[in-house]
Each structure stands twice: as structure tokens, then as C-alpha cells.
Chain A
């Protein structure tokens, strides 16, 4: 029943080692190897030795006070065999968090990253609750901010206990002992003891009441680039994502889901499907049907042979037109919920020398993680076992418990590496579906969604219709600023209990409510208009939406009064040195103001989100046919203390490219109740040939670390939109940016861009067995250019 038939591929323990039952086995002292477990639970320690959360979680630095309730235990396990295991609470989905959080523990524990194994935390709110999100989840660029103090404290506390045990063994003062690379040395005598040898004795040490943390100047790991712990297995193919799971007796399922939201399955004729070799079962739930088979191909063939009748239900006529019309109407007539109001914006607006108004529109967005949604489930009478990659393990556990009827502690969740999260895997919709199917059969099933299903049955980032206005004084700078955003509530969709009407969803105004600029009066509010479909978090959440509006509009204001957009921002940032710092650095490195060819321009965007400041300059040309050709990207970031600088850069690069794909190409549309896009041919992504030279400059800082996984995404659309304006004089206020609107007037109109012709030649060549994909077929992949 182990997940990996090829042996341990990743240096990770199987997460079954941490299931409730095995932990209990350990506590009873039978069998498991771990001699020292920092569980942070009474039962893990003898009476009176329970680690106090106050001791470990009460640190005074930065976010330290936020840690009440975040059990710092459970992170470190040192075995008598010398194994050192870090149980990492955050999910690794490419952002490098296994390495970042391991560095925090290792720094204070005095071990090398080469000496530890990483395992993903099992669902356990008591031990692994994220202090900022207040639940065991990975998202919102919160991981490193939440972990910065308590994970170092956990390492320091464990080291203190290990040193205490060694000192007791030698009957010497602790101060004479030093820890390094999992060995404690008694300095005067040169005697040594390994952590392994101390594994048993250290558990009897008193839990330290005070764990001072290292002075950053003494850091050996933090702040220095190191090889990421997850990379080797991802380079040699041995990494195990959820989709790679293999469980004894497992069958693989292909499914068909009612194409219209909330539609129902009426009937299935499976007579032909069951004749196909390799097909095992056909199973039904209220809105979907699954064919299980020996392999995915058999299941797919079986599925194709089904005759399925759906009842599309009430949403059969749902269309994007109606979603937009609803938003627009709500924006004009709906009742706003106040987000922030300061300085009587209405009065100042009325008396302003000049007024500027704009409407911005942002589409529904899919996540399109590279790894399509998949879930492996085995429902047995006594337990429900699940293998998947999730950003929210306890949500998975709860949903599976509800559907299976088992108590949550009987739901075992094996969390895996994730092939892209971006918010998609915060939701357990696929788990609900998978358990509904799996409880009808005795064997484990792995359900794999196709790319088409992954896109069409995604839970989308909401669409927004935003009206923004500024009143400018005689000097051209804002005296009044109002920003009214209209859209669905992600929080309302996400919370099991929903969000009552009239209550602010702070996500809806995040990035709008606190612009980095000095604005004498500001009013930011939100009109809630939930679409008739579920909505979800998406990379960059509120700021990705709102900063596009704010930063595009700031550019509009500068141009409205004939000022340079960089200079205009600088004036408004006099009292914000960190924001000004990144702005100036990005502008300088990008050569702001130096001459550019015709129909080429630079755009800048600035924001302060997730505790980090990021300024980005995009340089682009726009061909007369309206093709956007990126020339250069320069980013400057101040994200506080740099823990792993190379990963900060990688996140800015990747986040930005993710945001550029959306800005250039992406929008989900509905027609007749169904999503119109289906795969990467019509939900286009940036490809390597479209990505220009990219520089990231990091400002060193001693401030507490900020989040960095989403900042780049936030910057992308406004920087590009502003660059397009600089290149063409066209202000695009609707995403994705329309090529048609960018065509020079003398060019015959043509449709460009959303569909990459890229792989057509490759597909044909490959299906014919002619494997050549280089050279000419690659060139055919370029979008048509004029």
C-alpha cells in the first residue's frame, strides 16, 4: 500500500509514518525509530514536560505575536539511527518552501540541509496551523512570514535540549558545549556526542523557557543560496506527484462531468463501454460518471463508449454576457460595503481642479496548473485513505470524512508534491467527487481529470468591474481618490459557512485600500455581486486584481497632467522609503527615459503586497498588427530579510510570467452554460520564445521577511498595460489585452494571438511517428507576425 513502487524517490518518509495510528504506536513506545519527537502535545512528553506555547511561540520579533495557537512542535524528529526528519507544514508547489522552512529549522538546530529528510505534514490543525491563515493551508504568500520566528524557535529549543542532554551525560555546564552538524562537542575536553546518541536522553530535558535566536550575522544557512531540497528528484523523474501515485490494487478512472454547473446526470448506457478490454466498472454520482480501468487509456476508451444523458438544469443559458451585464448593473446600482474612507473624498472630488474617471474590467481566470487535478482514494470500512497534492490537508480530511461518513481521524491524507497550486488546490472539490465515486467500489481508484476538465471544471478567479476616479489639484496630483470594485466574494465561496451579505471580504479590496502613495482623501468600497458559479483564490489574490486598476490608473493620471509616470509616482512616495527604493532601483536598472524605437515603450508598476515591495519595468513593442512583443523585464524587490535569495528571484520571474500569460491571453468565457475554452490551444500560455531578458534586483533588508510567491504576478498586467500605452498611446482597461485594439489604423483588421499555433506541426509529426520537433515546426509555432 505504499505509494512508490520504485523505492524512496524523494528522500521523504512515507506520510503514513505520521498517521494518527502510527503516532499512537510511537507514543506507546512500540516500534518506531524516533527517539525524540517535538510534538508540542501533552501526550508526547512526560507529565510536567509539556512544551508551553508561550515559551516557544511568544517571540518578540516581527510577527511573533501572531503565533498563539500555532503549535511549534511536530517539525523535528531525530531518530536513534541518526536520521533527522523535518516535517514541513507548508505544501511544496514550486515556491521552494520545503527548502526555506527547512533552512529555518536547520539554522537553529545546527544541522546541514544535506543531513535532513523532508516530509510533508499530515493534516493536524493543532500542530501545523498556519498562524496568518489560521488554518493548515499554504497560500496568500504567508508561509515564510508565518514560519520565520516559530520554526527557528523550534530548532533552537530542540538544540537546547540536545545540548542539555549531552552536558548532563558528561556532567559539565551546557555553556561548555557547542552543536554543529548534528554533533555536540564539549569544547574543553573535545568529547563528542551525536544527536542520534542523544535522541532518548534529550526528551527528558526540561523544555527551555526562553529560546534566544541567533543574531542574523551568525547565520550559516539563512540568507545564502543553497541547492533546493526538492530539485534533484524533479530533475531525474523520481519525484512523486499525486498523479504518480501507485497503490496496490488500484484502478484508474476517467470521468465525465456534466458540462453545465449544477447540472445532473440523468442516465448512462454503458453496454458498449463494458465490452472494452481493461474496463473494470462504470460508476455514477449525481453530476458525473466514471469508468475505471486497468490504465487510463482503457478508462478513456470506456468513457468514450458511454451514452450519457445530462440534465443541464437552470444554468443552461449562463453566458459571459450575462455575467458582465450583472456586474455592470451592480456597479451602478448596488449597495457598496465600505473598505476604507478617509479625508472626505466626495467633497475634495467636487472641488478638484480636474477629474479623471475610468472603468476597468477583469475576466474569470482558470488556474491551469501543469498537473491536472487528480485524486486517489481508497474507501475501506475502517478508513478512507487519500493520496493527492493539496494546499489544504485538513480541508481534504474534513470533506472526505463528511462524504465517507467516517470520523476525520479515520481519514488518512498523504500529501504530495504539487505540480502547480496557484490557489486551485486550496479547495477540496475533487476530493468530494473522488470519495463519492470511491465509496462505491472496494478497490483504490485514481481519478485523473483531463486538461479539458481541469480548465472547464475549475473554480475560477472572479471577474471584476471596477470604477475608479481621482480629483486632481492645481498641481496635477490627487486630492481625492475613489475606487469602487464590483465582483464576487472569494471568501464567501471558500468558507463553509459563506460570508453574510454586507460583510466586507477584505480580499475584494486588498491592493486597492492601501496604495503606497500619499493620497489626501480616499474611499475604497466593494459591491458584492456573486456570479452564478463558485469562485476561488488565484495567484496574487486581491492585489492581482486591484493593483492592475490602481497602477494603470496612476499612469493615466500622470499622462492626464503631462507628467512622466515615474516622476509622478516619486512625488507621491516621499514618505514611503521602501516603495521609493524599489521604484528608483527598477527605473535606474531599466534605463528609464532612454530613447526607444517606434511603437516601443516602457511601463512601470509598483505595489506593496504580502509584506514585500516590488517595482517592475516592462519594455515592449507593439507591431502594427497589434502583436505584443516583450523586449525586457526589470524588477526590483524589497521583501525584507532574504532567506533564500535565488528563490526570491525565481518567484519574481515565475510569478511575473504567470501574470503576463493572464494579461496577454487568458479569460474564461461561458456560452450556453459551458466554458468555451478547453486546452492550451485556446487557453494560451506564455512560451519560451515570448519571454524576454529578465533581471531581478533584490534590496538587502533587515526587516522581517515578506511573502514573495505572488508579488510578480501582481506586477505583470499593470506594467505591461502601461508599456503598451507608452508604445501606442492606447490605454487598455480590459483584460486580457486585445490585439485588435492595438492594431495600427492602416492595417487590415485580423484576429490574432489567443491561439498558439505552436504544437500543431509537432502533434502531426509525433502522431505520424516522425519525432522531429525542432527547427521548422518550432518556428511555425510563433504567432503570426507582421
Chain B
């Protein structure tokens, strides 16, 4: 039996899953990390966004076999990074969240954006965040919170 070894939020996991299983389901159904959400399954909504080696990935279309030894960070672990913590604090300060279902993905996309661009303008925010759908329409606050996190 083949096991997949994967570092998630700093912890080494041995998962008994097939190579082609999307990272999303390995995280949710096998590792028990349900903060990462299923929204569309075809990289259209961003609800499943996690970081692989610090970069945002739609985990619903990334096979676990493609992760390799790159570290995975999910919303449960993103507060360990300075940028992630700032993003979460801004999200709380501005009460971004409504139903919240998309917000793990939003936070992961925002943290990745600020990780590579500490002072994004509106166009940069659009570019990084347009892949994350929010049916509750929290976009104005997402934009404001990213700007607040950038100056925090």
C-alpha cells in the first residue's frame, strides 16, 4: 500500500490515499482539516484555496501526488505566518464575514497576495482575488481588509 507523506501546517502526515486524489479531499476527509471548503470542484470559486510552498492553489484540482515535499498551509495554520495573522485580524476588525463559507479561501488568497506584494493597489487586489467567489457579496470589505492588513 502506498502512503502519501505531506507536511501540512508544519506537521508531517502519512495519508493512505491514491495519488490522483485532489488535495482538497485528502485534507478534508482524510486529514480532518475541514476549514478548506468545497465550492465547485473545477477551480472556479476559490473556496478550496490553500498554500503550497506559500503560493495559492485550488486544492480541488491539485492531485495530492503533485504536492511532493512542498509544505502545505491551510486556513487552520495560516495564523502562524505574520501575513496570515494580519489578514485574519483585519478580517475580524472590518467584520468582512457573512456566511463565511468562502472566507477560508478568501483569506488564503489574500495572505498569498500580501506575501508577494505587501502594498497591493486595487488592480493587484482584483487580479489576485477575482478567482474567489463570495455569494454573500463581501467583496467591498475584502478589498478594505486587504488594504488594512497591508498597513498593519
Interface residues, chain A, CB within 8 Å of chain B? 5-6, 93-96, 227-228, 230-241, 243-244, 246, 252, 277, 294-297, 368-372, 417-422, 448, 450-451, 646-647, 650, 653-658, 661, 679-681, 685-689, 691, 693-694, 756, 758-760, 762-763, 766-769, 771-779, 781-782
- Within residues 93 to 138 of chain B, which ones have a CB less than 8 A from any CB in chain A? 95, 97-104, 107, 109, 112-113, 116-117, 124-138
7 A-B pairs in the complex with CB atoms less than 8 angstroms apart: A94-B100, A96-B98, A243-B34, A371-B39, A371-B101, A417-B99, A450-B41
Query: What are the 4 closest A-B residue pairs judged by CB atoms, nearest first?
Result: A237-B35, A657-B137, A419-B101, A778-B127
Contact of A775 among B26, B45, B127 (CB under 8 A): B127
Determine whether B86 belongs to the interface, using a CB cutoff of 8 Å to chain A: no
Q: Are A370 and B137 in contact (CB-based, < 8 A)?
A: no
**Contact between B130 and A782, CB atoms less than 8 A apart:** yes
A296 touches B127 (CB 8 A): no
Q: Tell whether, in the assembled complex, residue B130 and residue A653 are in contact, meaning their CB atoms are under 8 Å apart.
A: no
Question: Are B61 and A766 neighbours in the complex by a CB distance under 8 Å?
Answer: yes
Q: Which residue of the partner chain B has the closest CB to A656?
A: B137
| Interface contact B62-A653, CB-CB below 8 Å | no
B136 touches A370 (CB 8 A): yes
Within 8 A of A (CB), among B20-34: 21-22, 25-26, 28-30, 32-34
For B147, what are the chain A residues with a Cβ–Cβ distance below 8 Å? none
Q: Which residues of A contact B35 (CB under 8 A)?
A: 236-239
Q: Give bound CA distance, A420 to B100, whole Å.
A: 8
| CB–CB A295/B25 < 8 A | yes
Q: Which listed residue (B18, B37, B55) contacts A371, Cβ 8 A?
A: B37
Is there an interface contact between A370 and B58, defined as CB atoms closer than 8 Å? Answer: no
Choose among A448, A687, A769 the residue that contacts B133 (Cβ–Cβ < 8 A): A687
B residues near A655, Cβ cutoff 8 Å: 137
B43 touches A778 (CB 8 A): no
Query: Residue A239 contacts which of B66, B100, B134 (CB distance < 8 angstroms)?
Result: B100
**Is B6 an interface residue when CB atoms closer than 8 A count as contact?**
no
A458 to B100, CA, bound (A): 21
Instruction: Provide the bound-state CA to CA distance between A477 and B139, in Å.
Output: 40
Interface centre among B34, B41, B132, B142, by most chain A C-beta atoms within 10 angstroms, is: B34
Docked-complex contact A370 and B66, CB < 8 angstroms = no
**Which residues from A are CB-within-8-Å of B137?**
653-658, 686, 691
Bound CA span A296–B128, Å: 29
Contact string, B38-64, partner A, CB cutoff 8 A, digits 1/0? 111111111101011101111001110
* Pair A5/B32 contact, Cβ less than 8 Å: yes
Identity of the chain A residue whose Cβ is nearest the Cβ of B126 in the assembled complex: A689
Beta-carbon contact of A237 and B101 below 8 Å = no
Contact B40 A647 (CB under 8 A): no
B92 within 8 A of A: yes
Contacts of B32 in A (CB 8 A): 5-6, 246
Verify B130–A420 contact, CB threshold 8 A: no
B76 & A236 in contact (Cβ 8 Å cutoff): yes
Q: Is the CB of A688 within 8 A of B139?
A: yes
| CB <8 Å contact, B97 and A228 | yes
Closest chain A residue to B127 by CB distance? A778
Decide if B44 touches A419 in the complex (CB within 8 Å): no
User: Nearest-CB distance from A393 to chain B (Å)?
Assistant: 18
* B131, B138, B139 pick with most chain A CB within 10 angstroms: B131
A679–B97 Cα distance when bound, in Å, is: 23
Q: Of A227, A370, A654, A767, which is within 8 A of B47 by CB? A: A370
Question: Residues of B contacting A420 with CB < 8 Å?
Answer: 99, 101, 135-136
B20 shortest CB reach to chain A, Å: 8
B131 adjacent to A781 (CB under 8 Å): yes
Q: Give Cα distance in the complex from A782 to B34, angstroms.
A: 31
Tell me if A650 and B125 are in contact (CB < 8 A): no
Chain B's interface: helix, strand, loop or mixed, by majority? Answer: loop
Residues in B whose Cβ lies below 8 Å from that of A771: 51-53, 55-57
Residues of A contacting B45 with CB < 8 Å? 370, 451, 680, 759
Q: Considering the complex, give the chain A residue whose CB is closest to the CB of B33.
A: A237
10 further A-B pairs in the complex, CB-CB below 8 A; given A235-B92, A241-B37, A771-B52: A228-B95, A234-B103, A370-B102, A451-B40, A655-B137, A658-B136, A689-B130, A762-B43, A778-B127, A779-B127
With A and B bound together, what is the CA distance between A450 and B129 in angstroms?
23
In the assembled complex, the Cα of A252 lies from the Cα of B125 at a distance in Å of 37
Contact (Cβ within 8 A) B103 A766: no
What DSSP secondary structure best describes chain A's contact surface? loop
How many of chain B's residues have a CB under 8 angstroms from any CB in A? 81
CB-CB < 8 A to B57: which residues of A? 766, 771, 773
B66 / chain A contacts, CB cutoff of 8 Å: 767-769
Q: Min CB distance, A391 to chain B, in Å?
A: 12
A297–B101 contact, CB under 8 A?
no
Cβ of B124 to closest chain A Cβ, rounded Å: 8
Which residue of B has the minimal Cβ distance to A372?
B38
CB neighbours (8 Å) of B62 from chain A are 766-767, 769
With A237-B74, A759-B58 in contact, do A371 and B131 touch (Cβ < 8 Å)?
A: no
CB <8 Å contact, A94 and B99:
yes
User: Separation in Å of the B148 CB from the closest CB of chain A?
Assistant: 14
> Which residues of B have CB within 8 Å of A231?
91-92, 95, 97, 100
- The answer to whether B125 touches A246, judged by C-beta atoms less than 8 angstroms apart, is no
Which of these, A656, A688, A766, contacts B142 with CB under 8 Å? A688
A235 engages B133 (CB within 8 Å)? no
How far does the alpha carbon of A474 sit from the alpha carbon of B26 in the complex, in Å? 71
Given contacts A228-B95, A759-B131, A772-B55, A237 and B61 within 8 Å (CB-CB): no
| A680 with B133, Cβ < 8 A, contacts A417-B100, A420-B101, A766-B57 known | yes
Alpha-carbon gap, A686 to B40, bound state (A): 15
Residues of A within 8 A of B102 (CB): 370, 419
Q: Compute how far the CA of A368 lies from the CA of B140 in the bound complex, rounded to whole angstroms.
A: 20
Is B79 among interface residues, defined by CB-CB distance under 8 A? yes
Most buried by A among B98, B109, B132: B98
Closest chain B residue to A232, Cβ basis: B92
B17 within 8 A of A: yes
Partner of A653, one of B92, B99, B141: B141
Chain B min CB distance to A155 (Å) = 24
Smallest CB–CB gap between B88 and chain A, Å? 5
| Identity of the chain B residue whose Cβ is nearest the Cβ of A657 in the assembled complex | B137
* Given A237-B74, A763-B61: A243 and B139 interface contact (C-beta under 8 Å): no
Measured between C-beta atoms, what is the minimum distance from B77 to chain A in Å?
9
The interface residues of chain A lying within 8 Å CB-to-CB of B132 are 687-688
Residue numbers in A under 8 Å from B91 (CB-CB): 231, 235
Asked if B34 and A654 make an inter-chain contact with CB atoms under 8 angstroms apart, the answer reads no
Q: Which of A94, A232, A235, A773 contacts B128 (CB 8 A)?
A: A773
Looking at the assembled complex, report how far the CB atom of A679 sits from the nearest CB atom of chain B, in whole angstroms: 5
Contact of A767 among B44, B61, B101 (CB under 8 A): B61
Q: Does B75 contact A (CB under 8 A)?
A: yes
| B25 adjacent to A778 (CB under 8 Å) | no
A774 to B113, Cβ gap below 8 A? yes
Q: Which B residues lie within 8 Å of A772 (CB)?
A: 55-56
B107 surroundings in chain A (CB, below 8 A): 235
Contacts of B55 in A (CB 8 A): 771-773
Q: Which residues of A contact B112 (CB under 8 A)?
A: 773-774
Inter-chain contacts of B130 with A (CB < 8 A)? 687-689, 758, 778, 781-782
A82 to B57 Cα, complex, angstroms: 44
Contact A778 to B126, CB < 8 A, known contacts A235-B88, A451-B40, A766-B58: yes
CA distance A763 to B45 in the complex (A): 10
| Chain B residue at minimum C-beta to C-beta distance from A774 | B128
Bound Cα distance A656, B109 (Å)? 24
